[in-house]
Structure 1
């Protein structure tokens, strides 16, 4: 007997981003906040993002 196929909700990511880029215009020029981030978050996973300053 073969194992049951995984539930689609368990396989597909809840959140997915590919090559995410976010830039801001400042008085000093363009600031790159996010540059080329690719990630997937699936059910049951968690992700923490901490900036350079720790906040």
Structure 2
């Protein structure tokens, strides 16, 4: 999650902002994370595990 241009703290703040919408579906959250945090030219593999606690 840390990049050459962004510190881990900055990126964690962005991540927490993306996760601060409990009304979103899990699929929408995954899409938002993938498209919001990844650079389009990044070809590394990514795995997400997202769950909603009840």
Same fold (TM over 0.5): no
Larger radius of gyration: 1
Greater strand content? 1
Greater helix content? 2
So what's the TM-score if we normalise by structure 2?
A: 0.24
So what's the TM-score if we normalise by structure 1?
A: 0.24
